[in-house]
Homo-oligomer: A and B are copies of this chain.
């Protein structure tokens, strides 16, 4: 996992336009958002899944970094004053604080675009063309209106930030809908993209998809737990925002103890799924443990 993280940290700065390249304000702000922090879970997941599916992760590091750019776009837009209004992210001021709101909107737009551009451009070579088109389609579907953006819309409706169209149903069902889409879709797509880059056909990817889905759910519950227990220094972002904003989370809905119990169950389930994919003591199982037990 450390090797993959190092590869991502080496490649990411090279994929982003240089600070002195026109338009330099935008490029400075994009680099501020992406570099100097972040767990890089999505590209690491893609690399580990790629290896487990028989691929060569070194060939797909650039492409995997596109996932991190896309993830960062979602953070920059979610942090905007009209959305979650967050001032701290990855231990640094958010883009609209360090720069300004119009710049932050454009940074998100540009990172989403450049992230998909990276997926459409890497790996280089005609033999990879079909995998490139498939990865773009797979990821774009996961982060579109029926995926990640839809989850954010539902979240805004749940907190009453926008007028909801429908009668709020069971809050547990609604929370599940938010989690599965807002966080789960891109994590699942990152795992599946790793399998696509290894040439695995769609009917052999079910184990990867299931692993990615469960990991996404565990990731979000761990996030909710951390928001209610960790400090800003540990998190690198403002804690306690969920309770403050009256957000629907695992902790506000079921309590801390129940959330922790569900996390433990999920850990067992994910590790089993990982073993089915890669055998015992593999990197996907280790990553799952890190995600569940993380302190930031």
Residues in B with CB closer than 8 Å to A134 are: 129
User: Are the CB atoms of A114 and B99 closer together than 8 Å?
Assistant: no
Q: Are B117 and A120 within 8 A (Cβ)?
A: no
Taking a contact as CB atoms closer than 8 A, the residue among B27, B30, B110, B136 that contacts A133 in the complex is B136
Contact B110 A25 (CB under 8 A): no
> A137 contacts which of B17, B120, B137 (Cβ < 8 Å)?
B120
Interface: A248 (CB within 8 A)? no
Q: Which chain A residues numbered 114 to 132 have a C-beta less than 8 Å away from chain B?
A: 114, 116-117, 120-121, 126, 129-130, 132
Contacts of A128-161 to chain B: CB distance below 8 A: 129-130, 132-134, 136-137, 140-141, 143-146, 149-150, 152-154, 156-157, 161
Check B130–A126 contact: CB distance below 8 A.
yes
Q: Interface on chain A toward B: helix, strand, loop, or mixed SS?
A: helix
Are B77 and A26 interface neighbours, CB within 8 A?
no
User: Complex formed: what's the CA distance from A238 to B141 in Å?
Assistant: 34
Q: Which 4 A-B pairs have the closest CB atoms?
A: A117-B140, A120-B136, A110-B145, A129-B130
